[in-house]
Amino acid sequence: MVPIPQQERLSIGIVGGGIGGVAFAVALSRVPGLDVQLFEAAPQFSEIGAGVSFGPNAVRAIQRLGLERSYRRIADASPAPYEDVWFEWRRWQDDAYLTATLAPGCGQSSVHRADFLDAIVANLPEGIAHFGKRCIEVQQDDNRATARFDDGTSFTGDILIGFDGIKSAVREHVLPPAQYGDLGPFWSGTYAYRGMIPTTRLEAALEARGADKRLALVPQMYLGPDRHLLTFPVKQSELINVVAFITDRSTPNPRLPEGEEWVKAVTQQEMLEVFAGWGTASQAILACIPEPTRWALHELPELPRYHFERVLIVGDAAHAMVPHQGAGAGQALEDAYVLASLLTDQACTRQNVQQVLAAFESVRLERTCKVQRTSHQAGDLYEYSAPGIGDDEARLAIDLETRFDWLWNHDPQDDVAAARVRLGWETGSLTASA
């Protein structure tokens, strides 16, 4: 390959060092013709200590990003013979089995968020990441885009990619409130109580109450009116990730009390009262969480665009969603793969990079908006509030068996191919997939 002159290198700034931003930076860093810089607000890479689930589409994106080895080292899976089970679904008041959703060859593929971030950070070359860089403003002109940080420094490059999460600072540049109104995060109406339980402790608690200890290791979802509860293993099955949800459906647009924090520590008693009357397994699970945290789950509206000339928002900055399909991190990884594939293609240049960003938006916006929308709808389904289904458990079970197929069967390589057609590229190497 002929060396690319320094002044001709495509310069890419990434704002945000979460899972999506780091995976994207790793993919770009494999190509010597790019100048890649990542800016993270925190003093170091960090993720909340919670489990995250990946569907088959997300695992496919991880593979295409060249991160499968890092992922497999830490990923959990359901034990045999349940390895294809995504979730078993059970009735709230008596734990009765309703059905199972299967993801053949993948099952409930889950990780501890912080472990996964550490695993992919290990693939990032030195000198790319910069910390203590909270973006406060974005500007651009015909030739360059600039991110300004709260420490007084700035970055100027050919393009700027906002991987900076649901509270994104980059988003307001792409979608100015004066022109588009408030497109920031809103409360979904759902609270999530979270906790981690040592697996041996939960198995003992289930057995002590006469419940099957198998319910600890095989991913479970307990469904009920305006509430649902899920469990799945993480940390090589040493811990069980627990999330218990309650949704306010008393008003079409519920609002958080003024000044309430999105995340707060609450008492176990509050959580137990929310699930009073639930079955033996649910009670055993919740009794093992002495210090739960309560999360007010926020999401974004479906945005009209992700791209404005030399600036693009991706991941949660563009399409933050509720977690009811386990799809948020997967969409960020799909974004990372598709965008990295296009930007590392030999046909991508400093002259046409704005068109590349536009092509990315054209092939991703409809899918990511649909994932947002159906994630919210899935929460309604789990909590006996889906239109036309409600608490009809027979219809609920039929829906659950196939409703995720469209999401899981997607291959982000198809998005790359569609974008290349839109750009008129007939040849080129998809370096990021190597």
Count of alpha carbons within 13 angstroms of residue 224, beta-carbon side? 21
Tracing tokens 């928002």 back to the chain, one arrives at 313
Residue 81's region, left for phi above 0, alpha for psi from -120 to 50, else beta, is alpha
The set of residues, in sequence order, having a beta carbon less than 8 Å from that of 410 and lying 6+ positions away, is 57, 334, 367
Provide the strand spans (E) within 268-407: 293-299, 307-308, 311-313
Contact between 56 and 143 (Cβ < 8 Å): no
CA distance 204 to 34: 54
Beta strand 97-102 pairing with 135-140: unpaired
Residue 355: helix, strand or coil by DSSP?
helix
Residue 394 exposed, middle or buried by CB count within 10 Å (0-12, 13-18, 19+): exposed
DSSP-H helix ranges across 140-208: 171-174, 177-180, 199-208
Tracing tokens 């001709």 back to the chain, one arrives at 8
Q: What is the 8-class DSSP label of residue 433?
A: G
Residue 140 exposed, middle or buried by CB count within 10 Å (0-12, 13-18, 19+): middle
Contact between 310 and 357 (Cβ < 8 Å): yes
CA distance 211 to 204: 10
Count of alpha carbons within 13 angstroms of residue 281, beta-carbon side? 29
Catalytic residue among 90, 194, 364, 367: 194
**Residue 66 φ/ψ, nearest 5 degrees:** 75, 25
Q: What is the 8-class DSSP label of residue 334?
A: H
Tracing tokens 């997607």 back to the chain, one arrives at 410
Cis amide prior to 198 (ω within 30 degrees): no
CA distance 82 to 88: 10
Mark whether 134 is an active-site residue: no
Q: Which amino acids are annotated catalytic?
A: 194
